Amino acid sequence: MLPGPMDAVPSWLPLRTLTVLLAAAVSLGVALVASDRTDRRLGALRRRLLLGVPWGTALTIGAVALVYLFVQGGIEDPRDPLVIPFRSWSYRYPLGMVTAAFTHSSLGHVTGNLVATAAFGSVAEYAWGHYPRKRGAHSFGSALTNPFVRILIVPAGALVVGLFTSLFALGPVVGFSGVVFAIAGFALVQRPLTALLALLADQVLGFLVVAVQTPRVVAVPRPRVITPWWASIAIQGHAIGLFAGILLGFGLLYYRDRWPDPTRLWFGLLVFAEFQGLWALYVPEGNGRFVLFRWLGAAVVFVLAAVVILGIWDGDERAGSRLDWLVERRLPESTAGVHTVGLAVVLVLLLGLSGAAIPYNVAPIGDSPAPQPTVEVRDYTVSYGEDVPDGYVRSVSLPFVDDPTAINTSGVVVTSQRRHVWQTVVLESQLRNRGFATVEVGGVGWRRNVHVNRTGWRPAGNDSVYKVYLRPAGDERTRGYTSEPRRADPVVAGRNVTLVPTDGGFAFAVSREGRTLATASVPGRNRTTTAGGLTFRRNGSQVFASDEGTRVTIATREAA
């Protein structure tokens, strides 16, 4: 093969990354130069922000990145952070409650949240401003007018909102997205159209980051187990973050007595909710199965957008025709009740959604039994089970639900009584598809891998016969699960063949009229064995059974 243009470049030089960044910079530069209002825009930034830079947003991004790199171990392997101990498992596990909002499950997860923080945080910080806006107020005149203090209020606010979303998020969540939604909600209330531009900028920035992180993709057809994107999102956590940000935005509006155009805010909320999937209301049915209520979610989004508008609507018919992004006007006393109703509804929704998480956060989650047998790594147990009651769900008594154990799960389960952890970390379908998985457990300052392997055969016309092994790094492996024997459909010379798992591997049991004639281990590659008058020959991943010229495929090796 002839060398390509990239082959002559030193391996240490990230040419592809530099190419993408340079192209983006040139594109942005051309856009700014072509604009006849560039100076005016840059001047507005300098009047609102110290040196025209959203320093608070930058500090927030840097702090979250440091947590990912040094608390979760991303500095060692950016694509494989430690996650389980940093989820919001229970009020009885303070470490998870404190860290959940600031830790992430993957490099793509943290990157997406930080890109969104940069986009929406810049708008929110511009609306907040580093300099006082009241007439007669001077910078450095007091703590609240000090630009450096006002900068620090941004990361401090992110910290407070992050703790709030951790404490009142439903389920063992992880990620900064609750804070991102709060920042977006604040930005939408303060600057609806600018926030929509930030939403589009977030999409472009995300595209740019993916191009840099994954500069070359090779697509190979293969079976995959895919969980719907909406089933992997903490909708409730996003919603309470958004409502918290909206209320904070309302607070600043009331303080400054400056109000956005209602129709623009309504439209901005709808677009944001659609882009960010806030309409994706779903319920789990167990074993990786989910039900999405798209129609209900769409209706809820429109209703909530209308409710938020009640919080700023003043009955001024001329407001919708004004072209200002923000218009200053006093609230007529006659419409004060409408504002109160709108804000009260938003507050009630926030409190109701937050309260829904309390039963789970106080439940004794770690006391639910784990499937047996298990392997232990310090305070963790790792095991494998199929169609077992979900220990997280069954630990909570829910109203109108008579049997919480009706939701079952199958796969690799991690538990810890000390940390109140019970989680299916690898679904049975995922392990079946890949044949192996690595589960990482640990805590602050330590981490350890547990390797999981599934090996088995599929008898013709029936489900697989298999065994699952668990092996903590550096230890011996333990058999964590053994499936039932299963009979192959073909009948060869009046004989049935059943595939049986054994201590040493797998064997064929040959029977006639319910009586076992003989057994023989599954032969090695390109080898032959006999049992009960049948000859079994293995050719690669398939085993054939034959007798006097009759030859059928009797079993196929599971792909590993």
User: Which whole-number Å values give the CA distances from 244 to 171, 262, 302, in the listed order?
Assistant: 19, 19, 18
- 3 state SS of 497: strand
CA 33/CA 20 separation, integer angstroms: 20
φ/ψ of residue 533, rounded to 5: 85, 0
**At CA 94, angle to CA 89 and CA 97, rounded to 5?**
55
At residue 177, what is the residue type? Answer: S
Q: What is the largest CA-CA distance in the chain?
A: 104
Domain-wise residue ranges, the chain: 49-216+231-361, 370-482, 486-557
Determine how many CB atoms are found less than 10 A away from the CB of residue 255.
9
Give the pairing of strands 550-557 and 542-547.
antiparallel
φ/ψ of residue 507, rounded to 5: -140, 155
With residue 16 as reference, give the H or E element that holds it. helix 15-34
CA 348/CA 358 separation, integer angstroms: 16
φ/ψ of residue 453, rounded to 5: -130, 140
Q: What is the pLDDT along the chain (560 residues), one digit of tens a residue?
A: 334 444 444 444 455 566 656 666 665 555 555 555 555 555 667 777 888 889 999 999 999 999 999 999 999 888 899 999 999 999 999 999 999 999 999 988 998 899 899 999 999 999 998 887 766 566 666 777 788 899 999 999 999 999 999 999 888 899 999 999 999 999 999 988 888 888 888 888 878 777 777 777 777 666 555 666 666 778 888 999 999 999 999 888 888 877 777 888 888 888 888 888 887 777 766 666 778 788 888 888 888 888 787 766 654 444 433 334 344 444 444 444 456 666 788 888 889 888 888 888 888 776 778 999 999 999 999 999 999 988 887 777 655 555 544 688 899 999 999 999 999 999 998 999 889 999 999 999 999 999 999 999 999 999 999 999 999 998 999 999 999 999 999 999 899 999 999 988 999 999 998 899 999 999 998 999 999 999 999 998 999 999 888 899 999 998 65
Can you read off the two tokens belonging to residue 390?
């979900």
User: Which whole-number Å values give the CA distances from 560 to 357, 431, 432, in the listed order?
Assistant: 40, 10, 9
Rg of the chain over all Cα atoms, to the nearest angstrom: 30
Closest CA to 183 of 113, 267, 259, 103: 113
Q: What is the pTM of this model?
A: 0.82
